[in-house]
Amino acid sequence: MVRPTSVTPGLFQVLKSILEKEGPKSLFRGLGPNLVGVAPSRAVYFACYSKAKEQFNGIFVPNSNIVHIFSAGSAAFITNSLMNPIWMVKTRMQLEQKAVKQLSSLSFVGISRLLWHRIPAEVIRTRLREEGTKYKSFVQTARLVFREEGYLAFYRGLFAQLIRQIPNTAIVLSTYELIVYLLEDRTQ
């Protein structure tokens, strides 16, 4: 296995570089489709999650971890299937280049909540977005990244992802639970 010869820039170095080369407006490229996609995406996700939870509660121990895992996976699959066109537009706007056709199916790979599966999928999906590169397919890209850069390359960007995702998830799930609580309280 070949080890990388250069050090990958950190979050702040990348941010500084983007601001210097492209200006502050570039940080908001693709924001419109993102905003248009978030509300319907969350609505679809939570509606599917709730319905799946009802179904899985009838199969497994009610409200068990397995019910939540299968419900979340089902909701993510349906949401990704329905919302992919909006995210594809966002990606194209952000890149201002032709997207690689494999990106559509890669959203399904990102469904898994396990870091081992999710983080490599994000790294590979990002590489496939680079037009005109040596990256051609999911499996080919995964093998090439591993061979050329090693296992840790699959975790590049994890810190930035966690900074974005943890507060986002906390806000979304807290809001969901509050709404469910308020709605249940009114029906009783």
Model confidence, pTM: 0.51
Distances from the Cα of 55 to the Cαs of 62, 70, 71, 181, 187, in angstroms? Answer: 10, 10, 9, 20, 22
For the cut 60, the answer to whether the pLDDT of residue 104 exceeds it is no
User: How many whole angstroms separate alpha carbon 124 and alpha carbon 138?
Assistant: 7
pLDDT band at 114 (very low <50, low <70, confident <90, very high): very low
Task: Give the angle 39-41-42 at the CA atoms, nearest 5°.
Answer: 70
**Mean per-residue pLDDT, 144-154:** 85
Mean of the pLDDT values across residues 83-106?
Answer: 56
Measured distance CA(166)–CA(46) in Å, rounded: 18
Give the lowest-confidence range in 26-35, 91-100, 159-168, 170-179: 91-100
pLDDT number for residue 98:
43
Residue 92 pLDDT grade (very low, low, confident, very high; cuts 50, 70, 90): low
